[in-house]
Amino acid sequence: MNRKQIILAISLFILASFVAGTGMTYYLNAEGRSASSDNTIQQLGKFSRIFSIVKNNYVFEENSDSLITSAIRGMLKSLDPHSIYMDKNLYNDLMIMTQGKFGGIGIQISTSDGYPVVIAPIEGTPAYKLGIIAGDKITKIENEDTHNKSLESIVSKLRGIPGTKVHITIQRVGIKDPINYTIVRDYIKVRSVPYATTLDSHYVYIRLTNFSQTASPEVGKALDSLVNGTTKGIILDLRFNPGGLITEAQKVAGYFLPRNSTVVSTRGRMSGIDKVYRTINFKTYTDIPMTVLVDRGSASASEIVSGAIQDWDRGLIIGDTTYGKGSVQTVFPLGPKEALKLTTARYYTPSGRCIDKELRGDTIVDTFTTIGGLSRLITSAGGIIPDVVIPYRKLSSTEIQLAKDNMYFKFSASYCAGKKDKLKDTYKMNSNVWNAFKHYVAKEDTSISMEKLDKNKTNIEGTLNSYISRILWGEKGWYRATFKTDLQLKKALEVLKKTKNVKDIFKEIAGN
């Protein structure tokens, strides 16, 4: 293929992608061609000429695929943050998020001193079964040094086809010599509900972290196992939940709203995108008072569920204003391993509120009325504004520095090293642990004075207790420890304990 043929092929490819990717329909005029196509073809011709000039005259030789990919990404970047070209890696990440599983070894990792460090092994996974523990520093993968490598590259090397092997070397606190592991990868399920329990004997708590394909089944399972004749309230925790599948939001909301209730509607330009999503669940829990916890990390599907609960006067929303990601992305496959993710619509709650804050382009504050019978006034300015606003406590500069320097985790891993089983029976946060932490910080981080530590002792102890509890008892330990200092959760329990029925819960805010 000569140069002219290459450029013609590129132009035709981009034109075809433009038509297919936007879902546009071209109506022919009397002359037999689209009335809007002339300028588009001229602009694509300009692009092909620029591409040719760059390809043949730029000071360095550039790969054609890279240039085209950069051009596509540049076009999409001008639209919004969520419209992106997805290469193999991004497309694979999307599949993991929506399907809720991938091939890997089963660890949560972060970085410390330039190395990937295990935060916690996921229970039941290959890493967990082999005895990998929190605090293990991964120094090599397939005999290749991991120092100062990006987390993305580390994760990419650890993941792979189930049944294949990966060789890693770790350095463990308290053990001089490195430990070598050969781990057989397996399917790792990303749990949507990592923790669910009953608090104070009568109040069901469900932590929902995403809206993958497993979200509604896991929420349903938690409700089935925990709700009984003595249940007096439900707490649905959607904090730091970035969202996921709109159909899963529809199903999760369906557990708490009457059948055939509107959950959300979508509106856009693409054919078939305007749609109303209604509840379809046969088993519901509509007669139990509930609260929903949200924060600035609650986005998309989380806002759909919390918005529907609020609009229908079904439960009290507690926490901080949500993220405001109220746009719909449609995935257009471009091949077996790549796709275009394009914003095609916006979400609207049952009362008609626009959830979206990012694309609004205005600062208009609208007022709407709930539709569940109470006709409460609610505000729309993008995102979901809680009925009871409780922002997170502002961290002190000392707490921020401790977290930045990874002091909580590093001390916890060191403190539990070699005595995890014993500590499970004897551990409690006390003066001995506090003094050991102060000694560790003084040795590791001279920028933090002991006076500052003592001044922030109560809050630091609460955070430190959560880290140690996670190492000793996993996710369950982490949640149980954080509950002790969780102001938003405490408010939810306080409200529910004063509530006798679903509508009674709103008396809590009637005078506000």
Whole-number Cα distances in Å, 351 to 196, 262, 359, 366, 378: 30, 9, 20, 12, 10
Number of CB atoms found within 10 A of residue 251's CB: 22
- Distance of alpha carbon 134 from alpha carbon 385, whole angstroms: 37
Amino acid at 21: G
Hey, CA dihedral for 279, 280, 281, 286, is it positive or negative?
positive
Structure tokens at 52: 């040719």
Burial tier of 182 (Cβ tally within 10 Å: 0-12, 13-18, 19+): exposed
Given the residues 186, 237, 295, 311, select the one marked as catalytic: 311
Task: Kindly state the helix (H) or strand (E) to which residue 219 belongs, with its residue range.
Answer: helix 215-226
Place of tokens 């630091």: 460
Q: Is 149 a catalytic residue?
A: no
Structure tokens at 156: 């990419």
Q: Residue 244: CB partners within 8 Å, gap ≥ 6?
A: 97, 98, 210, 211, 212, 215, 300, 301
Q: Is 70 a catalytic residue?
A: no
User: Strand pairing of 290-294 and 316-319?
Assistant: parallel
Whether 37 contacts 26, CB under 8 Å:
yes
Q: Is 325 a catalytic residue?
A: yes
Strand order in the sheet with 233-237: 195-199, 203-207, 233-237, 290-294, 316-319, 388-389
Given the residues 137, 149, 251, 325, select the one marked as catalytic: 325
Given the residues 300, 302, 327, 469, select the one marked as catalytic: 300
Give phi and psi for 438, each to the nearest 5.
Answer: -60, -40
Instruction: List the one residue out of 131, 84, 137, 89 whose CA is nearest residue 110.
Output: 137
Catalytic residues: 300, 311, 325
